[in-house]
Amino acid sequence: MTVHVSRKEHFNAAHKLYNAAWSKEKNVEIFGPCANENWHGHNFDLIVTVKGEPDPDTGFVIDLKMLSCLIRAEVIEKLDHKNLNIDVDFMKGKLASCENLSVEIWKILSPKIRGISKFGKLHSLRLYETPRNYVEYFGE
């Protein structure tokens, strides 16, 4: 019996999408307003889903309070009110897209979730950049 359990967290961050190997014109052509030199911001929502068998002692797959503390300490504090291109150590040298960000968040959270849950493991990350645009990552 596998149950999926999710926690949603929120952060605000600035970025720009810019490939330094390209001309300014090509960046604007590909990334549109997201290539704006002077940055822009998003209100991000991050949904972390853990799957597993409920622990017979608690009935929980994972303690959601512990999961929330973990996400905040390891990810949100490093991203909230930051510039993804400049301030965030694990995004250095990478294009500041939602796709790349979700892969890096996975690398951080996956081993730590195993540390706080006997039966649960990270199943998916869903990262909303806007209410209508999101990416999902399943660690593959």
Question: Which entry of 53, 81, 99, 136 is annotated as an active-site residue?
Answer: 81
Q: Name 67's Cβ contacts closer than 8 Å, sequence gap at least 6.
A: 5, 7, 48, 50, 113, 116, 117
Stretch that binds Ni ion, among 6-14, 30-38, 44-52, 105-113 (CB under 5 A): 30-38
Handedness of CA 93, 96, 100, 106 (dihedral sign): positive
Please say if 74 is a catalytic residue: no
Stretch that binds Ni ion, among 26-34, 43-51, 65-73, 96-104 (CB under 5 A): 26-34
The backbone region for 81, taken as left when phi is positive above 0, alpha when psi lies in -120 to 50, beta otherwise, is left
Q: By CB under 5 A, tell whether 127 contacts Ni ion.
A: no
Please say if 98 is a catalytic residue: no
CB nearer to Ni ion: give 15 or 78.
15
CB nearer to Ni ion: give 34 or 71.
34
- Quote the CA–CA distance of 124 and 31 in Å, as a whole number: 26
Nearest approach, Cβ of residue 102 and Ni ion (Å) = 14
From residue 23, alpha-carbon distances to 34, 91, 119 in Å are 15, 22, 49
Nearest approach, Cβ of residue 61 and Ni ion (Å) = 33
Please say if 10 is a catalytic residue: no
Number of residues forming the site for Ni ion (CB under 5 A) = 1
Q: By CB under 5 A, tell whether 34 contacts Ni ion.
A: yes
- Residue 124, token pair as written in the block: 């998916």
Give residues in contact with Ni ion (CB under 5 A): 34
Active site residues: 34, 81, 129
